[in-house]
Amino acid sequence: MLSPFDLPDGIFLLITDELPSPADFALHQCLISHAKEKKDSLRIVLSVSQSLTKWQSISGKSSVTISQQITAKTFHLIDVSSGLESDKITSDPLHALYEQVAAVLETYSQGPDALVILDDISALEWIGYSTSGLFRLCRALRALCLKNNATLLVRHHIVTPGNLDRLFRDVYSLCTHHLDIQPLTSGRSGAVSGQIALHLGPNASSVQPAIKVRSRSTALQYRLTDGSALFFERGSSRGVL
């Protein structure tokens, strides 16, 4: 999964990004590679900030047809925003969300290698869900994924770099791997869109196959295209050479 890093299955990957370098491409690439490698496995997307249209159109650029997967019951998109009917937000919708994911996993899972994506946990916090409620949701999802040997991806936005918030620290304590996506400090460029570092999380076990981690000093750079991202080593982009 995620070709330059070859992440193993069954992990809890925390993806962090910043506004100039959104991690949409990482989520989409994980979904696309999972769909290509494990056609019959289940994919569940808890969509907070991205619409089904965007998932479909970007997957379609890589010859992955979401509508066929929906028909085959291998793709389920749960629209989290539709649960916000009431303006009084309590933590109950989060529990209902968990129940929904558990039901889908139990009903439609045909193999062990399912993929669960929560595409924006920060937005849920900003619109009123409590930090402790979101932490409990992540913990419950992690337990559910461990039970089903599924992979869990959670994206969190960093809005104050250098001053990490409580939600990040809570979710980080659960993760096995941390994908750290940052913009260039020199500003936007057409040749380089950002850089990616990969760290081991606190729950990374020695049982899982070893992967090559990358610190920020050896981060991999990437350039976005319409439907994917091109990865290259730092200093080797076309704009530099």
Partner 1 sequence: MSSFKRKTTSKTQVLPGTRPSPGSISTTITSTGIPSLDDILGGGLPLTCSLVVAAPDPHSSYGELVQKTFLSQGLACKQDVFVVGGDQDALDWVKGCMWFRDSSSALDEVGDDQKLADEDQKMKIAWRYEQMKQFQTTVGSASTSEDFCRTFELTTRIPASTVENALQSSQLITCDLAADSTSVATPRVITSIEELLSRRLSKAPLRICIPGLGSSAWGDLCGQDILRFLYRLRSLLRQNPLTCASISLDPHISSEAWGGPGWIQRLGWMCDGMITLDAFTTNPSLSNLFPSYHGMVHIHTLPSPHTLLPPSDRFSNLRGLSASTTEGGSSSGENNLAFKCTRKRLIFETMHLDVEGGVGERRTTPAPTAGILDTDQVSRLQSESLPVPASKAALASVQVEIELDPVSTSTAKVPSYNDVTAIEVTHTPKKKPKKTVAFRSDRPDLYDF
Site for partner 1 in 43-62 (CB under 8 A): 49, 51, 53-54, 57-58
Residue 2, C-beta contacts closer than 8 angstroms, at least 6 positions apart: 26, 29, 30, 33, 179
Smallest separation, CB 19 to partner 1 (Å): 5
| DSSP-assigned states of every residue in 197-208 | EEEE-TT--SSS
Give the pair of three-digit tokens for residue 140: 């419950």
Three-state DSSP class for residue 22:
coil
Q: Does 82 bind partner 1 (CB under 8 A)?
A: yes
Task: Tell me which residue of 17, 12, 32, 3 sits closest to 196, measured CA to CA.
Answer: 17
Which of 122, 148, 176, 221 contacts partner 1 by CB under 8 A? 122
Instruction: Report the residue number, 49 or 208, with the smaller CB distance to partner 1.
Output: 49
> What mask of x and - would describe binding to partner 1 in positions 169 to 208, judged by CB under 8 A?
-----------------xxxxxx-x---------------
Q: Does 227 bind partner 1 (CB under 8 A)?
A: yes
Q: Does 228 bind partner 1 (CB under 8 A)?
A: yes
Which of 9, 24, 113, 119 contacts partner 1 by CB under 8 A? 24
Contact 93, 21 (CB under 8 A): no
